[in-house]
């Protein structure tokens, strides 16, 4: 599938609570309709970012996926700003 990613936030090597806090900061800078990609190595970010998006007005979590990059598990999140 193809997704129009406007901005990518790299929070690899950062643990809870940093991925959510930095996601919030990058999300604020988006315009309506834009999508943020967050790349994390923190497995807890899967539930943390899902919970954050669920509670945040104007944030819609499009997809979350796990991948392996250079032998590391990475967790990718796609959040769109709806308004």
Partner 1 sequence: MSTETSADPEAALTADQAAELLDRIDDLESEVAELQSEVGDESNKMVIIATKGTLDMAYPPLILASTAAAFGYEVTVFHTFWGLEILHEENSKNLKLSSVGNPNMPVPNLVAALPGMDRMTTRMMRNKIADNDVASVQELIEVSLQSGVDLQACQMTIDLLGYDEADFYDGVTTGVGAASAFQEMQEADIQLLV
Q: Interface residues with partner 1 (CB under 8 A)?
A: 13-18, 20-21, 23-24, 41-42, 52, 55-57
| Residue 79 CB neighbours (<10 A) | 28
Q: How far is the CB of 11 from partner 1 (least distance, A)?
A: 10
Q: Which is nearer to partner 1, 6 or 24 (CB)?
A: 24
Catalytic residue among 16, 21, 29, 67: 16
Contact 77, 38 (CB under 8 A): yes
Tokens of 72: 């590391």
The set of catalytic residues is 16
């Amino acid at each position: 599938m193809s997704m129009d990613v406007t901005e990518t936030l790299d929070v690899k090597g950062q643990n809870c609570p940093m991925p959510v806090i930095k996601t919030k900061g990058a999300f604020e800078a988006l315009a309506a309709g834009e999508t943020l990609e967050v790349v994390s190595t923190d497995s807890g970010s899967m539930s943390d970012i899902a919970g954050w998006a669920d509670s945040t007005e104007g944030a819609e979590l499009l997809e979350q996926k796990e991948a392996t990059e250079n032998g590391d598990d990475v967790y990718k999140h796609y959040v769109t700003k709806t308004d």
